Amino acid sequence: MSSSSRQHLDFLLPLHRRLYSGCKILCVLSIGFVLASCAVVSEVPEISNYELQQEARKQLEFAERTIVERTHKLANLSWPILVNNLEMCDDFVRYRTGLWLSRQSSILTSLSWASDGEQTIGQEPVVWGVAAESPSAKAGIEVGDRILAIDSKLVKSSADARRLLSKATKKFMAERTDPIQFLIQRDDERKRIDVQPVLACRSEISLAGGTRINAYATGRHIRIYNGIFTFTETDEELQYVIAHELAHNISNHVIYARARGAIGVVFDLLVLRWNVWTNGGFSRLSVRAFTKPYEVEADYLALYLLANAGIDSTGVENLWRRFATEDISRIGWVLTHPSTPERFIRLRKTREEIEAKQQRNEKLLPERK
Ligand SMILES: [Zn+2]
C-alpha cells in the first residue's frame, strides 16, 4: 500500500469510528425513549398551550413582585452602610441618588414566550427600589414610578435609564452642582422631580438569579443570590452579608485574587512544555488558595462598616451556626474559606473590640498592621 493511500485510510478510520459510536448513542437514546414512554401507565390530565401560557404569565408576575420587593429591601438595608462609611471607602466613592432601577436579566429574556410578545421583566425603565432617607426618597420618587426622561433626555429602556443616571451622577465628581431632573409617570400623572445626589460608597448592589445561599463581589459590584433572602433571619444578618461584600470591594480583594490567578496561568503555560494540559488548574488553585485571609478580613471590616452605620450586629454570627447545619463540611478545615466555627468566634471578638472603642468614644476604624 502506498503511503498516500495509508494516509487516506488513517484519515477515514477515526471518522468511521465516530459515526459508529454516534449511531450507538442514538440507538441507546431511542430505546430509552421507547422504554420510558412504555413505563408510564397512568392517565395524567391533559394541558393546553393556553393554560400553560396563562400559568407561566402568573408565575412571571409573582417573580417580578418578589424581585421588586427584594430590590427595595436591598436599597433600604444597604443605604446606611453606603453613606456612613466614606472614610473606610476612601476613594471608592461616588455620588448616588438612592434609586435602584429595573434591570433585565438573560434568564428572563429566555422566558419571553410566556408573556405573549409583551415586554418581559426588567425591560421597562421602572423604579424597583428607593432607599429610605436617600435624596430620591426625600424628593418623592416611589417604587413603581416609570422614568420617562433624565435631564431632559428621553429614556427608552431600563438599560438606558441606568446609563443616563450613571452619566449624570459622574458629573458631580467634577463640576456639576445642580440637581438631576427626573420626568416620571405615576398612574395617569406626569411629574418632574429634582434629586440632589450625595456622596456614598460606590458599589452597585443587585440580585443575582438562582437560589444559592451566597453573595459575591466583582471588585466594583455586589450580587446577592435569592437564597440569602430566605436564609437570613434578620435585616441585620442581610446587612452583614452586604457589608462583607462591600469590604471585599473597598479592599481590592478581587483585584489581588485575579493577580494571583495570573501567576497560576504562568505555571499552567510552563507545564505545557512537557505536554501536560492542566485545564487552568494552577490558575484556579492560586485564586482559591489565597482567598482565606481575604474572607477573614472582609468579616472583620464588615462589622466596622455596620457599626459606623449605627447597625447593631449582635447575633449576626449565628448565621454561621445555621450555615454549618446546611453544609456540615464547613465546620471542618476548608482550603478556600475560614471554617464556620472560626467565622463565628472572630465575629464575636471583633464586636467586643468595637464595643470597647465605643465605650472609649474612639473613632470606629479597623486596626491596621
Ligand atoms: Zn467573601
User: In angstroms, what is the span from residue 103 Cα to ligand 1's centroid?
Assistant: 24
d(CA 194, CA 29) in angstroms, rounded, equals 63
d(CA 257, CA 324) in angstroms, rounded, equals 26
User: In angstroms, what is the span from residue 245 Cα to ligand 1's centroid?
Assistant: 6
d(CA 256, CA 219) in angstroms, rounded, equals 10
| The CATH number of domain 51-202 is 2.30.42.10 | yes
Q: Taking the domains of the chain in order of start, what are their residue ranges?
A: 51-202, 206-359
User: In angstroms, what is the span from residue 243 Cα to ligand 1's centroid?
Assistant: 10
pLDDT exceeds cutoff 50 at 2: no
Give pLDDT, residue 336. 74
- Beta-bridged to residue 192, according to DSSP, are 183
At 10, is the pLDDT very low, low, confident or very high (cuts 50, 70, 90)?
A: very low
Contact (Cβ atoms closer than 8 angstroms) between residue 122 and residue 158: yes
d(CA 155, CA 230) in angstroms, rounded, equals 34
User: In angstroms, what is the span from residue 135 Cα to ligand 1's centroid?
Assistant: 30
pLDDT in tens, 262-299: 666 666 666 666 666 666 665 666 656 668 899 999 99
Predicted TM-score (pTM) above 0.85: no
| From 36-45, 104-113, 156-165, the region with the lowest mean pLDDT | 104-113
d(CA 219, CA 247) in angstroms, rounded, equals 10
The CA-CA-CA angle for residues 107, 113, 117, to 5°, reads 115
pLDDT in tens, 39-53: 789 999 999 999 988
User: In angstroms, what is the span from residue 225 Cα to ligand 1's centroid?
Assistant: 13
Looking at the chain, which runs of residues are DSSP E strands? 93-96, 99-101, 127-130, 146-150, 153-154, 180-186, 189-195, 198-201, 205-208, 215-217, 222-225
